Amino acid sequence: MSQTVPVQSALIYVMVTMSAVDSSMNDAELRKIGNIVANLPAFKGFDQNRLVSEAEACGEIVSRDGGLKHVLDLIANSLPAKLHETAYALAVEVAAADLAVGQEELRFLQLLRDRLNLEKLVVAAIERGARARHTTA
């Protein structure tokens, strides 16, 4: 049997892993995660006081040997198909939060979309939407 975590935890794991994948969780990314958890319908009923403990649990998994693969497996096994696009959109939002997306973040996005079996057009639409929201004048 595959290991799972609660759905909201899996979504948090997506965002925390995206933020941490470049070895730096900056303030903009942390604020974005907090804002998403506070406002997105997918987190309705989630106790925001648990956010730090969920982030720490994710960090513990990622820091182990094979941790990135394990967290991707947890995410994929825990999320229903209807939330795969949501998970990818959350990852893109966190990546774009500091207006700089590095190679490590791009690689995680690729691994995530492959693991969640997302269609190329869906991925392109999510990424284009984020680019439009984060473009400055």
Q: Where are the beta strands (DSSP E) in the chain?
A: none
| All domains in the chain, ordered by first residue | 7-134 (1.10.3680.10)
The model's pLDDT over 1-24, given as tens digits with 9 standing for 90+, comes to 479 999 999 999 999 999 988 777
Query: CB pairs under 8 A, 24+ apart, for 59-63?
Result: 59/16, 59/20, 61/13, 62/16, 62/17, 62/20
CB atoms within 10 A of CB 60: 10
Q: Supply the angle between the helices 7-20 and 103-115 in degrees, to the nearest 10.
A: 150
CA dist 1 and 114 (Å) reads 22
CA distance 97 to 78: 25
Structure tokens at 30: 């942390």
Q: What are phi and psi of 42, to 5 degrees?
A: -60, -20
* 54-77 pLDDT per residue, tens: 999 998 999 999 999 999 999 999
pLDDT of residue 24: 73
**Does pTM top 0.85 for this prediction?**
yes
Q: How much of the chain, in percent, has pLDDT values that exceed 90?
A: 72
